[in-house]
Structure 1
Amino acid sequence: MKLHELYPFEHERKGRKRVGRGDGSGHGGTSCRGHKGQKSRSGGKVARWFEGGQMPLQRRLPKRGFKNPFRVEYAIVNLGSLLQKFEDKEEISIEDIYASGLVKKTLPVKILGEGEVRKAIKITAHKFSKSAKEKIEKAGGSITQLEG
């Protein structure tokens, strides 16, 4: 005999609790729900956030700030890490940046000016900081700014 073959005898099995079937059942009358009130009635549930009439938490806390629905969030990449990743390339496209793993999501990319530019390089991205633009152009390179 195995563990999964164990089961209680027929006369030992418990039947399901049938409520509201008369006093003889032991669960008649109010069907174990007590007397009157919201929780005694069918469909009578109290919402999980209900606090017994006390002012609920979401109404007690003050409203603060503003969330701009038109805000564009950029994935940022520093010039230093970009040039370190693509040392031998002279032209870096947006697809290269996404494929390299420097940017996890496919968000628009902004290049920041941290790091040194030693050679002329052509970079394509959605946005550039002033310092990044200056460093690239000072080294003899060029930038291409994408829309979006």
Structure 2
Amino acid sequence: MNKYIQKKLIVKNRKRVGRGISAGGGKTAGRGTKGQKSRAGHNIPNRFEGGQTPLSMRMPKLRGFPHKSSKSKVIRLDQLNAVKGDILTEKSLSDAGLINVGEKYKILANGKTTKRFSSIDVPVSKNVSIILLERNIA
């Protein structure tokens, strides 16, 4: 058991500087002699470049408006054959693995579908809506 007794950790007290010449850290107390950093209250911002025009002011400003809208995922008509059931909703598309829930998407008139849907509750292009109405699917 004596093997496992922990040794005392050596913790030195920090040296108090600026307490006289004989104390070992007196007079300038490790700050050097002159200059802004040797004075009291010398906090300089990290971005300060010594009077040179700061980088943030040298860079050109951004113009225009941010483009927040992302592209919609395209679903072709022939991919709708994978949808189970006769109701076309976002959930049925995600169950078929065509989209992720919350993802932007739109059904375009590429290819042909053999399925008939009783109701459609998803965004479709104008051509798709015409095709589905002509075939009396919707």
- Displacement of 1:86 in angstroms is 4.4
1:138 corresponds to which of 109, 131, 134: 131
Question: What runs of 5+ residues in structure 2 fail to find an aligned partner?
Answer: none
Which one-letter code corresponds to 1:88 in the other structure?
K
Partner residue in 2 for 1:88: 84
User: Aligned pair in 2 of structure 1 residues 6, 86: CA closer, same or farther (>3 Å)?
Assistant: farther
In the superposition, relative to structure 1, how do residues 97 and 50 fare at CA in structure 2: closer, same or farther (>3 Å)?
farther
Q: Counterpart amino acid of 1:133?
A: K
Whether the 8 Å CA contact 1:117–1:136 is kept in 2: the answer is no
- AA at the equivalent of 1:138: I
Q: Which runs of 5+ in 1 are unaligned?
A: 143-148
Paired amino acid for 1:94: E
Q: Distance in 2 between matches of 1:40 and 1:81?
A: 75
Identity in percent: 25
Amino acid of the residue matched to residue 108 of structure 2?
A: G
Return the TM-score normalized by structure 2: 0.64
Task: Name the SS for the 2:73 alignment partner.
Answer: strand
- TM-score norm. by structure 1 comes to 0.61
Q: Secondary structure at the match of 1:79?
A: strand
Deviation at 1:111, TM superposition (A): 0.9
Alignment partner of 1:22 out of 6, 15, 20: 20
Write 1 or 2 for the structure with the bigger share of strand.
Answer: 1
The structure with the largest alpha-carbon Rg is 2
The residue number in structure 2 matching 1:146 is none
Is the Cα–Cα contact under 8 Å of residues 78 and 115 in structure 1 kept in the other structure?
no
What is the alpha-carbon root mean square deviation over aligned residues? 3.6
Corresponding pairs, count: 130
